[in-house]
Amino acid sequence: MNDKTALITGISGQDGFYLSELLLSEGYRLHGIRRRSGSFPSSRVEHRPGNHGTPGVDVHLHVGDLLDPIGLRRIISEAQPTEVYNLAAQSHVHASFEDPIYTAQVVAMGTLNLLEALRDYRDGTGREVRFYQASSSEMFGKAREAPQNERTPLRPRNPYACAKVHAFWQTVTYREAYNLFTCNGILYNHESPRRGENYVTRKITRAAARIKLGLQEHLYLGNLDARRDWGFAGDYVRAMWLMLRQDEPEDYVVATGQTHSVRELLDEAFGLLDLDWHDYVRSDPRYIRPTEPTLLCGDASKARTQLGWRPTVTFAELVRMMVEADLQAAERDRTLTEAGYTV
Ligand code: NAP
Ligand code: GDD
């Protein structure tokens, strides 16, 4: 058995993509869990390396769900992972107000299902497994201090964050009670051209590109004054991997330490295309959330000192990368539209 075998839940998501790339480049044998999809092949995994047996690319996709504890056990015993990265989640904060119970089931109970399966696997086989939990800055919610670090109290302000707090403490508990090697990465917002289209960065860069090419007239948004500590997803998955390389399992904040508002994001993205966003952006109360965190800004000193991690992509570079990718996608859409296809 390869002694570097990773299992990634949520492999079809943004972080799953970048983490797969990193682990493959580090010589890992890779297993991923994807949910069953009504359409085949699922558009979110079709392009993943190894899905079609690409020579030299060692990736095995398993159909599974965090809500199915028996299926998780089967996948773990098949994959025999040395490292497990739990990225799967209902990860949209606004959606969690609409579906709080489902969100809690996947994020909180799903993580517990996985931890229990790993504990039994380790106890049954004697094989050690290292575990990464995708914790979130949203857990700080109504923080009384900024920037936040590993010692900042957790004060979640939405159903998603409450569920992440549960998963966070279970991860700590399995470390302390059962001596499993488990780490929480408390990650601040990280984005990329692979970001889902309903998160604000991608919604804006995609709309700016489509407006530029005449494919869209307006962009409807919620709170423009919201601020976030935005970094590049490719940088953040490296921190996940580094956490599992340490001698002792610990929890780490991963962030840039700088915040920008949604307005600044609009300035940057539309500005790159010589557009004035005021001409296109409309307010839609449906995108306003019942609660927002106070100010999420991370202090990643511990990750910097202990992991040697630092972000390599600035806010301006991130927005440019996303706008350029969305412009290319919009050009493809325009070509198809002009040829009579519906996109
Ligand atoms: P994402 O793009 O939304 O990906 C989430 C993944 O979870 C998708 O692959 C999704 O599969 C899968 N999934 C959802 N429900 C599942 C279930 N019941 N069983 C198995 N898989 C399920 O999220 P991301 O941005 O890559 O984030 C990765 C993780 O980091 C998430 O846990 C998120 O909460 C956390 N996080 C993200 C950020 C950020 O800024 N991106 C910051 C802090 C923490 P489908 O493709 O089938 O939907
Ligand atoms: N999605 C969205 N859509 N957000 C909007 C909009 C809109 O039309 N208009 C304004 N916003 C504001 C939201 O109110 C929020 O304050 C901010 O933009 C960022 O929203 P999202 O991009 O949806 O991300 P998020 O910060 O709520 O959550 C992301 O980051 C968390 C880490 O801090 C997700 O990736 C979570 O999974 C992650 O844990």
Domain of 108: which CATH number? Answer: 3.40.50.720
Question: Mean pLDDT, to the nearest integer, of 260-287?
Answer: 98
Question: Is the pLDDT confidence value at 38 over 70?
Answer: no
Same domain, 268 and 138: no
Does residue 305 lie in a domain region?
no
Q: What is the pLDDT of residue 39?
A: 57
Decide if 42 contacts 69 (C-beta within 8 A): no
pLDDT value of position 52: 45
Ligand found nearest the CA of 133: 1
- What distance in angstroms lies between residue 4's CA and the mean position of ligand 2's atoms? 34
Task: Tell me the pLDDT tens digit for each residue of 89-99.
Answer: 999 999 999 99
Atom 37 of ligand 2, nearest CA residue = 91
User: Which ligand has the shortest distance to the CA of 33?
Assistant: 1
Structural domain count of the chain = 2
Mean pLDDT of 194-220: 98
Q: What is the mean pLDDT of residues 220-248?
A: 98
Q: In the predicted model, is pLDDT for residue 31 greater than 80?
A: yes
How many helices and strands (H and E) does the chain possess? 11, 13
pLDDT in the model for residue 37: 77
Ligand 2 centroid distance, CA of 158 (Å): 12
- pLDDT for residue 174 is more than 60: yes
Over 90: is that where the pLDDT of 225 sits? yes
> Burial level of 247, CB count in 10 A (0-12/13-18/19+)?
exposed
| Burial of residue 264, with CB atoms counted within 10 A of its CB: 0-12 exposed, 13-18 middle, 19 or more buried | middle
41-74 residue pLDDT tens? 444 554 455 554 455 567 999 999 999 999 999 9
Residues annotated as catalytic (active site), given as ranges: 136, 138, 160
Same domain for 84 and 104, yes or no, is: yes
Give 199 Cα–ligand 2 centroid separation in angstroms.
6
pLDDT of res. 342: 81
Mean pLDDT of the chain: 94
- What pLDDT score does 56 carry? 57
Residues in the ligand 2 pocket, defined by CB under 6 Å: 91, 93-94, 136-138, 188-189, 198-200, 203, 221-223, 226, 228, 262, 287, 289, 292, 296
51 lines ligand 1 (CB under 6 A): no
Q: Which domain holds residue 53?
A: 5-192+229-254
Residue among 40, 63, 87, 170 to mutate when testing ligand 1 (max atoms within 8 A of CB): 87
**In a shared domain, residues 213 and 235:** no
> How do residues 287-306 score in pLDDT, each as one tens digit?
999 999 999 999 999 999 99
